[in-house]
Amino acid sequence: MHLVYPAVLSALLFSTGLYGVLARRNAILVLMSVELMLNAVNLNLVAFDVWLARAARDTLHSGQALTLFTIAVAAAEIGIGLAIVLAVYRNRGTSDIDKLRDTAEGPDGAEPGAVAAQKTEATA
């Protein structure tokens, strides 16, 4: 099998995930997109591992081992990420990441004031 097939698929999936991360509003959807990106990398790893193992250049199966590690790390990431999203949701009443703009540099005091108002609204 041509290596190009899995490699190109991986690249396309990665870009799709990238688009999702940048374009999605809901934090959980962003996490899903991150999973897509991670899986794209996994596919790449597996494909290259198979190729290199056949070519007897790599006897350690490092690609597959790394894939496993990535899956484990992804599991940890999704757990922590969801916990963070939940905490944010509890505190702010939303999980839309484009509304979490506390670090904005406002030309006047209007923006932080609005955020503060949101905060009080959420806690109320």
Partner 1 sequence: MTTTTLAVLVPLLPFLGAAAGLLLGRTAPGFVRPLAVLPPLASLVLAALVAVHQGGGPVLDAHTELTPTGSVPVELALHIDGFAALVAVLVAFVATCVQIYSTGYLRDDPRYPSYAALVSLFTSAMLLVVYSGDLIVLLVGWEVMGICSYFLVGHYWETPEARAASLKAFLVTKLGDVPFLIGLFALATDAGSFRVTRVLGTVASGGLHHPTLVALLLLAGVAGKSAQFPLHTWLPDAMAGPTPVSALIHAATMVAAGVYFVARLLPVFEASRAAMLVLAVMAAVTMTGSGLAALAQDDIKRVLAYSTVGQLGYMTGALAVGDRGAAVFHLLAHGAFKALLFLAAGVVIHAAGTNSLAAMSRMRGLRERVPDAYWTMTVALLALAAVPPFSGFFSKESVLGAAEHAAHGDTAHVPGAAGRLVLVAGLVTAVLTAAYATRLWLLAFRGRGAEVPDHGRQPLTMTVVLWVLAVPSLAFGGLAYRALPGWFDGNSLTPTPLTSILGTGLAVVGVLLTYGVWQRTTRRLVSPPLGAVAAHPEADAALVEAEAIATHTPAYGDIAYAPDPADPGRALLGPLHRHAAVGFHLDAVYAALFVRPVRAGASLVRFLDREVVDTYVGAAGALPRLLGAAVRRAQTGNVQTYVSALLAGTVVLAVAVVLVATGA
Partner 2 sequence: MTPAPAPSLAAAPHGFLSPTGVEIAFLLVGLVTFGAALITVTTRQLVHAALWLVVALGGLAVEYLLLTAEFIAWVQVLIYVGSVVVLLLFGLMLTRAPIGRSPDADSGNRWAALAVAVAAAVALVWVVADAFRTTWIDLTGPAAGSTRVTGASLFRYWVLPFEALSVLLLAALVGAIVLSRKAKAGTGTEADGTEADGTPPAVPSARKDGAR
Binding stretches for partner 1 (CB under 8 A): 18, 21-23, 97-98, 100-105, 107, 111
Q: Centre a 10 Å sphere on the Cβ of residue 25 and count the other Cβ atoms it contains.
A: 12
Give me the least distance between CB of 117 and partner 2, in Å please.
Answer: 20
Helix (H, G, I), strand (E, B) or coil at 28: helix
In the list partner 1, partner 2, none, the entry touching 4 (Cβ below 5 to 8 angstroms by class) is partner 2
Q: Tokens for 40?
A: 């794209």
Give me the least distance between CB of 116 and partner 2, in Å please.
Answer: 20
Instruction: Name the β-bridge partners of 26.
Output: 96
- 104 belongs to the binding site for partner 2 (CB under 8 A): no
- 101 belongs to the binding site for partner 2 (CB under 8 A): no
Q: Hunting for tokens 């081992």 — which residue is that?
A: 65
Burial grade of 35 (CB within 10 A; 0-12, 13-18, 19 or more): middle
- 100 belongs to the binding site for partner 2 (CB under 8 A): no
In the list partner 1, partner 2, none, the entry touching 85 (Cβ below 5 to 8 angstroms by class) is partner 2
